[in-house]
Structure 1
């Protein structure tokens, strides 16, 4: 078990499910854990619980709704003011929304905003803090749900064709493609002290999908007893955040702590680059150009 003493680790979506387990286990190993959450009361309750369970007093909270890009900018500014660097950024937060298409505060489709654009912008804004670490890691929680998607960059807002299941799966593919393009750009810029990888946590028995409702929500509820525990679901996230071998290469997609192939015809170098450029435009940022 790696000793994470003096490691500064930010975990998004850390108040429930695999994010909460991940934060707890990293704190148990001695890390200074920063939990990014949307709800202040729930964040503080979770913080107190994890301190009691781990005995680690170095657990902090910051607040932001990742679908709101101004809140992402604000929380990034707070992190810059409070911490000297960042050793691990674990982009864990992700949601499936309801049958009706919703828009974020910025006017973007809500699944895209929460699962991809928010984490993309957060990573961009915190990248200089990661570069200050001797060996930093960016871990993106994707999913094999990418196989259940209808990816297109010509309708990235799903204005013509929206489904909560397809949209969730597509954003999980975006997580993978973002990771691969980031790895490529790290190499092109000669940045050797930051690595990035992504993962499939497994079919985890959490509250995921409960807000979806309808047939999809009912099917997820029926399948919950057959899903794995959040403890098992967090294992690959923890592996990529802490394992020595996982810190030596970038751009991998991991399942059960092992690299696996991404089987999507849409996952091409050209599409990865185009997704990156579109993400920059939608978030008004320039990231490793």
Structure 2
């Protein structure tokens, strides 16, 4: 035990969105307790710089990089292939990457970008890496959600309509993220792979920078009153490492404690609709869990 956390010696963690903010601090904390850490970022230079910083801060040379734009399903799959080629197991997957955008835009897959990054990408990455997570059992999937999911609504026929406002689109995607997490947790019950969601709190990071307008302005003005990235990462690190959570799955955490997510998130029929729709958008099948 180190600082109340499970020692990660010989274990591997993959953290997405780890070039700055909460993801970077999550990767640092995991590296400091002995994990071999792989960080995934969108920009090659920034990801390489972040890895060098992590090595220096943690004193561990075991920090590797993957580069992918997670709004692209082909790039998610390619990154997963590269990870599988380099590693025999995965002990912790922290799906931290997320974002809110200023305008409506379709990805190369014909999916609205906010939906693609915040909802589909973490699910696809988990499915692609599931064989290695099973090889690493007991292993953990930690999905960084948001308290904004409580303001979300699911209308699967209208998720990609151009009229969607940026924060509405983000809230909707984060609700879908929580719903799909619970659906996956249920499917993996008894396998040794747990799936949990976390709300990091309101953190002073560069999140919202791409959104522009009032979202960016408010984030700049409020930053002195927000949590530091290190404090924002604390719940992700706790859920990824706390020994007492080894078999806890299908839960939602805030301030390192289990909390209730929104009432809508516990609707199992809605979970199943979101799950099926996601598999359809990803061109996947239930056999992905095989």
SS in structure 1 at match of 2:289: coil
1:115-130 aligned within 5 A: 115-130=118-133
Q: Tell me the alpha carbon deviations over residues 215-261 of structure 1, each in whole angstroms, 9 at most, x when there is no partner.
A: 22222222222111001000000001100112111100001111111
Q: Which residue does 2:116 correspond to in 1?
A: 113
Q: Which residue does 1:74 correspond to in 2?
A: 78
Structure 1: tracts of 5 or more residues without a match: none
- Mapped to 1, the partners of 2:45 and 2:135 lie a distance apart of 32
Deviation (angstroms), 1:183? 1.2
- 2:163 corresponds to 1:161: yes
Query: Structure 1-normalised TM-score?
Result: 0.95
Deviation (angstroms), 1:104? 1.0
SS in structure 1 at match of 2:129: helix
SS in structure 2 at match of 1:211: helix
Q: Which residue does 1:7 correspond to in 2?
A: 11
SS in structure 1 at match of 2:14: strand
1:1-289 aligned within 5 A: 1=2, 2-98=6-102, 100-157=103-160, 159=161, 161-187=163-189, 190-191=190-191, 193-265=192-264, 267-286=266-285, 287-288=288-289
Q: Is contact 1:236-1:255 (8 Å) kept? A: yes
Q: Tell me the alpha carbon deviations over residues 55-85 of structure 1, each in whole angstroms, 9 at most, x when there is no partner.
A: 1000000111110000111111111111011
Deviation (angstroms), 1:160? 5.7
Q: 1:223 to 1:264 in 2, by over 3 A?
A: farther
C-alpha RMSD over aligned residues:
1.3
Q: Is contact 2:179-2:265 (8 Å) kept? A: no
SS in structure 2 at match of 1:234: helix
- Mapped to 2, the partners of 1:173 and 1:221 lie a distance apart of 25
Q: Is contact 1:124-1:285 (8 Å) kept? A: no
- Mapped to 2, the partners of 1:263 and 1:63 lie a distance apart of 33
- Mapped to 1, the partners of 2:219 and 2:70 lie a distance apart of 24
Deviation (angstroms), 1:90? 0.6
SS in structure 2 at match of 1:265: helix
- Mapped to 1, the partners of 2:154 and 2:92 lie a distance apart of 29
Number of equivalent positions: 284
